[in-house]
A and B are shown apart, each in its own frame.
Chain A
Amino acid sequence: MRDEIQDYADRPKRYDNIDGTGEMFMGLMLLGFALEGCLEAKLPENSSRWMHGLVIYGVMIPVLAFGYWIRRVIKKHITWPRTGYAAFPRDGKSWWIAMLAVFLVAIVLGLGLAFLTGFARRHHAMSLPGIVMLASFVVVYGFWIFRMGREYPWKWLVLLLMALGLLAIGLPVRGDYFQVGRQVALFVGLAWLGSGAGTLYSYIRHTQPPASEAE
């Protein structure tokens, strides 16, 4: 019975992403990083730090603002009229604990991969920080599915696709792994965005606004 109570107490956390807006926001943020990386790469080599800063903030602030706005619009016009409104308290402590847990798991997974394959280090195909960075993207998404998207089994396929895609992007790279940061951000961003759009589509298909006033 205690587990059922905990399950009910955890349901609102999953409800926050019932419409896929959380995933879409993450996807947009990563696409913003990809765009920002592209623009930064086009800057002349002797560009000042201010110029780099301008590109970063000039891209990321509008992207995050757009992500916030679109999330709000979807909630207001689609989610709240169909399945109701819920506001969540911001518990900073549990957020940081979750992030730390994800980071630690990613490190362990990355180290495990590196030692198991041996391939990476012998051929200098993937650096250890690179593996950790790639693994962390997969772990974050996996953690997200576990917490938020258990109702959608197809998301495990997205996770598999993400892992294979990252491997395909990362394996051919030699030397400095962060060169492929833009490709990784673009790929993972599109995967998150696609996953969120799939969730929204499924949500709209399976829910209807109540015929009359709820109360």
Chain B
Amino acid sequence: MNEQLRAISELDRVIHEPGRLMIVALLWAVKECDFLYLLHETEMNKGNLSSHLAKLEAAGYVEIEKTYRGKVPMTLLRLTRKGRTAFDEYRKGLKAAF
């Protein structure tokens, strides 16, 4: 297998899915954000976004915190250290592949 194909096959499949890639790229650039921000920026529907976030949380890439702003419930999201490293590695892998 040549180097480029190997690099492609080694890409992190949790991040590689387009929807999750979008979410991780957005979270990578912020300290933290809420669910509504991701909903607005990704233009996904709530169900899709929740499902992707659940997968990222299960992989240990995203931390989800349920809290309140005043009396309004708010879901805070942030990338974990593991998630940040995985995204950096993914970008390196993609660069090597292309």
Residue ranges of A at the interface with B (Cβ–Cβ < 8 Å): 1-2, 5, 8-13, 15, 80, 83-89, 210, 213-215
Is the CB–CB distance between B22 and A86 below 8 Å? no
A-B interface, 7 closest residue pairs, ranked by CB to CB distance from nearest: A84-B37, A84-B36, A8-B25, A86-B33, A214-B36, A12-B29, A83-B40
Least Cβ–Cβ distance between B37 and chain A, in angstroms: 3
CB-CB under 8 A from B38, the residues of chain A are 84
Least Cβ–Cβ distance between A212 and chain B, in angstroms: 10
Most chain-B Cβ atoms within 10 A of its Cβ — which of A12, A13, A213?
Answer: A12
Least Cβ–Cβ distance between B41 and chain A, in angstroms: 6
Is the CB–CB distance between A15 and B94 below 8 Å? no
* A1-B94, A5-B21, A214-B46 known; A85-B31 Cβ under 8 A: no
Measured CA separation A10–B72 after assembly (Å): 29
Is the CB–CB distance between A88 and B39 below 8 Å? no
Name the CB-closest residue of B to A1.
Answer: B94
Measured CA separation A9–B21 after assembly (Å): 10
Is the CB–CB distance between A83 and B30 below 8 Å? no
B26 on interface, CB distance cutoff 8 Å: yes
Q: Looking at the complex, which one of B31, B36, B73, B91 makes contact with A88 (CB distance below 8 Å)?
A: B31
- Measured as residues with beta carbon below 8 angstroms from the partner, the interface class of chain B is 20 to 34
Measured CA separation A83–B21 after assembly (Å): 20
B81 on interface, CB distance cutoff 8 Å: no
Least Cβ–Cβ distance between A3 and chain B, in angstroms: 11
Measured CA separation A12–B30 after assembly (Å): 7
Name the CB-closest residue of B to A87.
Answer: B31
CB-CB under 8 A from A87, the residues of chain B are 30-33
Q: Looking at the complex, which one of B35, B91, B98 makes contact with A84 (CB distance below 8 Å)?
A: B35
Q: Looking at the complex, which one of A80, A86, A210 makes contact with B30 (CB distance below 8 Å)?
A: A86
Is the CB–CB distance between A85 and B36 below 8 Å? yes
* A9-B25, A210-B36 known; A89-B30 Cβ under 8 A: yes
* A12-B26, A84-B37 known; A2-B31 Cβ under 8 A: no
Is the CB–CB distance between A2 and B36 below 8 Å? no
Contacts beyond the supplied A1-B98, A11-B41, A83-B36: 12 A-B pairs with Cβ under 8 Å: A1-B94, A2-B95, A2-B98, A5-B91, A8-B25, A8-B26, A12-B29, A12-B33, A84-B37, A85-B33, A85-B36, A214-B46
Measured CA separation A1–B38 after assembly (Å): 20
16 contacts between A and B (CB under 8 A): A1-B98, A2-B98, A5-B21, A8-B26, A9-B26, A9-B28, A13-B29, A84-B33, A84-B34, A84-B37, A85-B36, A85-B69, A86-B33, A87-B32, A214-B35, A215-B46
Is the CB–CB distance between B29 and A10 below 8 Å? yes
CB-CB under 8 A from B21, the residues of chain A are 5, 8
Is the CB–CB distance between A85 and B29 below 8 Å? no
CB-CB under 8 A from B75, the residues of chain A are 214-215
Most chain-B Cβ atoms within 10 A of its Cβ — which of A2, A11, A85, A86?
Answer: A86
